[in-house]
Amino acid sequence: MKFNVFTEMEYQVGAKSTLILSINALRNQHQTVLSEEFTLSPYIKTEELPAVSGENRLIRFEVEDPVLLKVSYKATVDNCFKLVDFADKPDIPVAQLDPSVIPYLNPSRYCQSDRLFRLANNLFGNIGNSFVKVLTLTRWINKNITYLSGFSNTHTSAFDTVTEQAGVCRDFAHLGITLCRALNIPARYFTGYSYQLKPADFHACFEAYLGGEWVLFDATGLAPLNGIVKISTGRDAADAAIANLFGNVLFTSMLVGCELAEGEVFESFYYNGNDTVGICYL
């Protein structure tokens, strides 16, 4: 499925500063960037950093002088999804987990799974099938947490959200991840361009590692799971921020979009009934 994605952002730079942006569509075996264009106006030389933690394409550059900086990115991306039936798929015990997955069991900045152990196990511990477990906790979040812009901020963590019960996609994802890890299920955060998300914005969701697959979940239910062009994955938003600003920089405006490429026909995928079929990047 091919998508055209784009963003335009403006930053008011007041003095020599460094920006590290994470807005480029991920290039990996699951997602092909057919074409892309990253532009700074005025022109500044940029550097794409190799991913160190999680998957991402960090663009780093230094702005020497005060300027109103316009960042523009557009790309055509092809990604494919597969459906996996978890009805009879056995769990992978911790004893056999791939080492690369183990860090996603640990608590992280916004996902204090160590403090939600009893809550997660009280609510979901007796569900036998791990896929159903994660789907159930995703729906529990969707039912109990109110989507409310402006309620939370960049310091808000899952420990807050589980009790205050309001937030945005980032908070929904953090809570999902935290509950998974508290249940000994590896889980990670990802950001992306999201087709049919209204209002248009960057989106944040999570993946749980089930039976050897990273399966997609979106506790907000605001957009189809097969319409997300991935930007980055990480432990939580601390790893996968859209922008890290060092110096005197003020974010002033943003446009984000994700559209179907010409000729594509889209059939949206959401988890609906009580089935056991999960969706993963192919």
Least distance (Å) from its own copies to the CB of residue 182? 10
By the rule CB under 8 A, 251 interacts with its own copies: no
**From the list 34, 83, 94, 250, which residue makes contact with its own copies (rule: CB under 8 A)?**
94
Answer yes or no: are the C-beta atoms of 55 and 233 closer than 8 Å.
Answer: yes
Q: Which is nearer to its own copies, 162 or 258 (CB)?
A: 162
Taking CB under 8 A as the binding criterion, the range among 79-87, 162-170, 188-196, 221-229 that sits at the site for its own copies is: 162-170
Q: Which is nearer to its own copies, 155 or 198 (CB)?
A: 155
Residue listed under structure tokens 């055509």: 76
**From the list 1, 67, 84, 105, which residue makes contact with its own copies (rule: CB under 8 A)?**
105
232: left (phi over 0), alpha (psi -120 to 50) or beta: beta
Least distance (Å) from its own copies to the CB of residue 115? 6
How deeply is 168 buried, as exposed, middle or buried, from its count of CB atoms within 10 A (0-12, 13-18, 19+)?
Answer: buried
Least distance (Å) from its own copies to the CB of residue 162? 6
Least distance (Å) from its own copies to the CB of residue 145? 8
Distance, in Å, from the CA atom of 25 to the CA atom of 76, rounded to the nearest integer, reads 9
**From the list 76, 112, 130, 191, which residue makes contact with its own copies (rule: CB under 8 A)?**
112
By the rule CB under 8 A, 248 interacts with its own copies: no
CA distance readout (Å), 169 to 106, 133, 172, 188: 21, 20, 5, 14
Beta-carbon contacts of 118 under 8 Å, excluding residues fewer than 6 positions away, are: none
The 170-209 contact track toward its own copies, x by CB under 8 A, reads --------------x-------------------------
Neighbours of 155 (CB within 10 A): 8
By the rule CB under 8 A, 144 interacts with its own copies: yes
Beta-carbon contacts of 91 under 8 Å, excluding residues fewer than 6 positions away, are: 130, 210, 211
By the rule CB under 8 A, 61 interacts with its own copies: yes
Distance, in Å, from the CA atom of 137 to the CA atom of 257, rounded to the nearest integer, reads 29
Distance, in Å, from the CA atom of 67 to the CA atom of 159, rounded to the nearest integer, reads 39
Using CB under 8 A as the criterion, which residues of the chain lie in contact with its own copies when the complex forms?
A: 18, 20, 49-50, 52-53, 58, 60-62, 93-95, 99-100, 102-103, 105-109, 111-112, 114-116, 118-119, 122, 144, 146, 154-155, 159, 162-166, 184, 238-239, 244, 246
